[in-house]
Amino acid sequence: MKKILAIFLAVSCFAQSTFAQDDEIRPAAIGISFILNDYTTPQRIRSSSLSKVFRDNQWAKIGDVAPGAAISYFKGLHKYIDFSSTLAGSFTKDAIDPAKNNRSEGFLLELDAAANFKMVPESFWTQPYIIAGLGASMYKGKYFGAFLSPGLGWKLNLFDETQIFLTSQYRIPVTKETSNYHFFNQLGFAQRLSEPKPKVIPPPPAPEDTDKDGVPDTEDKCPTVPGLAKYNGCPIPDTDKDGINDEEDKCPTVPGLAKYNGCPIPDTDKDGINDEEDKCPTVAGLARYAGCPIPDTDKDGINDEEDKCPTVPGVKENQGCPAVKEEVVKKINFAAENIYFASGKHTLLSKSFKGLNEVAEILKAEPELKMAIDGHTDNTGKADKNQTLSENRANAVKAYLVSKGVSESQLTSAGHGQDVPVADNKTPAGRQKNRRVELKPSYF
């Protein structure tokens, strides 16, 4: 029996009514209904959960609900949207917080307005719909409240004048002090207010002009497609198949867009990037810069892709970086020539500090300036120990400068051992020159 009922409902939803329906929009109608206000079930759901109510079958019994009556007004706004308004009255003791009501019964008057969103238009036997509404209530003549009223509804058309409707709304209080959560269930019938219009059956199409374009089939080269006489009954052609007919297309042989009168999106600067995607439409550029030229952030005439100091103006000879000032180079070189360590160790001697202090002040004054610290030794002793010693001495200079407030990011250090001599290691003077720390300032 349940399967038969389900099949009947499905067919009724999607089978169009054979009664005269001149319009798919619902005509104005007045309805009366029997209502049941259920405060018990929402209270159980809110105190436990919907799944528990389902599992334990805790739905309100007939004795727990408040019966009443309602009058409704319906009017179609769109083929899939109806307006409805309902005035309902019932006697209940649960309309507000029991602590305020003292569990005494009183008269509840509710008025709501809603939009009913239908799955199918009026030309079908029945319409399931979703309800979205809001309303106001008055309880015992002194408690005034407001609520939201989402829900579900179903309507069955009987002939063209009468409908049966069934709704269930979950009324959610906006003013919780003067209103309470409840299910508003409604069963009733509605009567349309105006006489149905007879269905007008259009006359059959004239056999001599199938597509109704005014060109007889005997002269129509496109008899099933409306067209124009000047094209022998065919539509205006669209040579480039861009959806814009040739009479309105300024580029009829090249696909384009309506906003450009049928022509492609222009590329004003001819850089291969159309103007809609080109942030510099009048200047040729590259796709990776959204159609703009390669930027030159520091405005030094060297673009950022070739500029090793893109945020600091420089010169081409120095790869876009500034040239280090001559007096700065002299001070740094002087400091480098006066760096001294304990013999065979990487401990800085105090007579090195004056020059290194000046270097530290220079680097702190110019945060963009970088400096490479390279340690070297002579060839006395084993090569691996010389390599370690050169690294440790370079790191010692770096650590000293950092201790004086220089940012570590400005400094790099490396040891080269005995591999890069600047003098002959066969003489004491040459070996002394090879035992050195070089300081190389640059902006990259």
The domain locations on the chain are 2-192, 326-442
**Top-tier CATH class for 326-442:** alpha beta
R_g of the chain, CA atoms, integer Å? 45
Task: Report phi then psi at 232, rounded to 5.
Answer: 60, 40
Quote the tokens at residue 374: 């390279």
pLDDT level of residue 10 (50, 70, 90 thresholds): very low
Q: Is the pLDDT of residue 13 over 50?
A: no
Residue listed under structure tokens 């290194």: 356
Predicted confidence at residue 216, as pLDDT, reads: 87
Q: Which of 28-37, 252-261, 298-307, 421-430 has the lowest mean pLDDT?
A: 298-307
Quote the tokens at residue 63: 């004795």
Predicted confidence at residue 278, as pLDDT, reads: 82
Q: Which of 68-82, 176-190, 196-210, 355-369 has the lowest mean pLDDT?
A: 196-210
Residue-wise pLDDT for 382-404, tens only, equals 999 999 999 999 999 999 999 99
What amino acid is encoded at 2 in this protein?
A: K
Predicted confidence at residue 373, as pLDDT, reads: 96
Number of H helices, E strands in the chain: 8, 12
- For residue 112, what are the β-bridge partners? 86, 135
Average pLDDT over residues 117-134: 92
Distance, in Å, from the CA atom of 319 to the CA atom of 336, rounded to the nearest integer, reads: 25
Do the Cβ atoms of 26 and 17 come closer than 8 Å? Answer: no
- Three-state DSSP at 333 gives helix
pLDDT level of residue 20 (50, 70, 90 thresholds): very low
Q: CA 302 from chain center: how many Å?
A: 38
pLDDT, mean over the chain:
86
Average pLDDT over residues 197-211: 70
Same fold, 2-192 and 326-442: no
Predicted confidence at residue 327, as pLDDT, reads: 92
Distance, in Å, from the CA atom of 43 to the CA atom of 64, rounded to the nearest integer, reads: 12
Helix residue spans in 260-342 (DSSP H): 326-337
Q: Is the pLDDT of residue 134 over 70?
A: yes
Do the Cβ atoms of 205 and 212 come closer than 8 Å? Answer: yes
Query: What architecture is domain 2-192?
Result: Beta Barrel (2.40)
HSE, CB side, 13 Å, CA atoms: give it for residue 248: 14
Q: Which of 7-16, 23-32, 93-102 has the lowest mean pLDDT?
A: 7-16
Q: Is the pLDDT of residue 18 over 50?
A: no
Closest CA to 134 of 168, 93, 182, 85: 85
**pLDDT higher for 1 or 13?**
13
Q: Is the pLDDT of residue 249 over 50?
A: yes
Distance, in Å, from the CA atom of 359 to the CA atom of 220, rounded to the nearest integer, reads: 94
Residue-wise pLDDT for 87-96, tens only, equals 999 999 888 8
Q: What pTM does this model have?
A: 0.43
Average pLDDT over residues 246-270: 86
Do the Cβ atoms of 114 and 131 come closer than 8 Å? Answer: yes
